[in-house]
A = this chain, B = another copy of it.
Amino acid sequence: MQTNETPEYAIETKDLSIFYGAFKAVSDVNMLLEKQKITAIIGPSGCGKSTLLRAFNRMNDFVPNSHVTGEILMRGQNLYGSNIDPVEVRRSIGMVFQKPNPFPKSIYENIAWGARINGFKGNMDELVEQSLRGSALWEEVKDVLQKSAYELSGGQQQRLCIARTIAIQPSIILMDEPASALDPISTLRIEELMQELKKNYTIIIVTHNMQQAARVSDYTAMMMLDKEGSRSGTVIEFSETKRIFTNPKDKRTEDYVTGRFG
């Protein structure tokens, strides 16, 4: 940030390591995530992608004995600082999960609840409409807002979950394999939506699907167990998606993206 030409960063990690008890699941991650860009995290199963993602909004707090070292900085504040409220962190860094998980309430309530507990004072109808429009779901549900969210299809449910997240106006949205439980068509829809959302939000997505990462993201972080025998994952290459997929620097990245890993 020395010059005003450097891009603005939404989040920055400094020597971030994440532990489950004594087990270091993720080690020494240093990343600068640009604002209003989509950053994909890819890597083989168990390399700590979800762990890293969940560290960003302190969802890992719910795992007993987990802790982090290093820093995650957002506008200069360390999210793991002692004076930081994790509830507030989660409010400003929303999360969308692998399996759609709407509340067993009406479509309307699904969105309104989060806003309400976060002290929203404005016009709720408007907020609901805007959130649904923002997640490209409004046209499909505007006449059935009182229907249970469970009556929606999987893909629609996932978009509802996105609507619910943007309703509380976070600045960053985390997505952990948001389309892996969906059929190909719904997957494409979610990908479309991400392109829309990126205009206003910073998005970090974990995905197993390399084509998906290549399609949707601007930057890609390649994670892998840091060395043979070790069980800690780390980011081994982080750069523009184009570069990762056409001409990666790291041999392991190359092997992984070309499907020759393992």
Chain B residues positioned under 8 Å from A44 (CB to CB): 183, 185
Residue of B183, B184, B185, B210 touching A184 (CB-CB under 8 A): B210
A122 close to B (CB within 8 Å): no
In the complex, the chain B residue whose C-beta lies closest to that of A153 is B45
Distance in angstroms from A216 CB to nearest chain B CB is 14
A208 close to B (CB within 8 Å): yes
A229 close to B (CB within 8 Å): no
A208/B185 in contact, CB under 8 A: no
Chain B residues positioned under 8 Å from A183 (CB to CB): 44-45, 208
A45 to B210 CA separation, bound complex (whole angstroms): 22
Chain B residues positioned under 8 Å from A261 (CB to CB): 185
B208/A259 in contact, CB under 8 A: no
How would residues 246 to 262 of chain A score, 1 for a CB under 8 Å from any chain B CB and 0 otherwise?
00000000000001011
Q: Tell me whether A188 and B259 are in contact in the complex, defined as CB-CB below 8 angstroms, given that A183-B208, A208-B183 are known contacts.
A: yes
From residue 145 to 193 of chain A, which have CB atoms closer than 8 A to chain B? 183-185, 188
Decide if the interface of chain A is mainly helix, strand, loop or mixed: loop
In the complex, the chain B residue whose C-beta lies closest to that of A155 is B262
A208 to B262 CA separation, bound complex (whole angstroms): 24
A44 to B185 CA separation, bound complex (whole angstroms): 8
A262/B185 in contact, CB under 8 A: yes
A208 to B188 CA separation, bound complex (whole angstroms): 14
A259 to B185 CA separation, bound complex (whole angstroms): 6
Distance in angstroms from A43 CB to nearest chain B CB is 11
In the complex, the chain B residue whose C-beta lies closest to that of A185 is B262
Q: Can you list 12 pairs linking A and B with CB atoms under 8 Å apart?
A: A44-B183, A44-B185, A45-B183, A183-B208, A184-B208, A184-B209, A184-B210, A184-B259, A185-B259, A185-B261, A185-B262, A188-B259
Residues of A in contact with B (beta carbons under 8 Å apart): 44-45, 183-185, 188, 208-210, 259, 261-262
Q: Which 5 A-B pairs have the closest CB atoms?
A: A185-B262, A45-B183, A188-B259, A185-B261, A184-B259
Q: A44-B183, A184-B259 are in contact. List 9 more A-B contacts (CB 8 A).
A: A44-B185, A45-B183, A183-B208, A184-B208, A184-B209, A184-B210, A185-B259, A185-B261, A185-B262
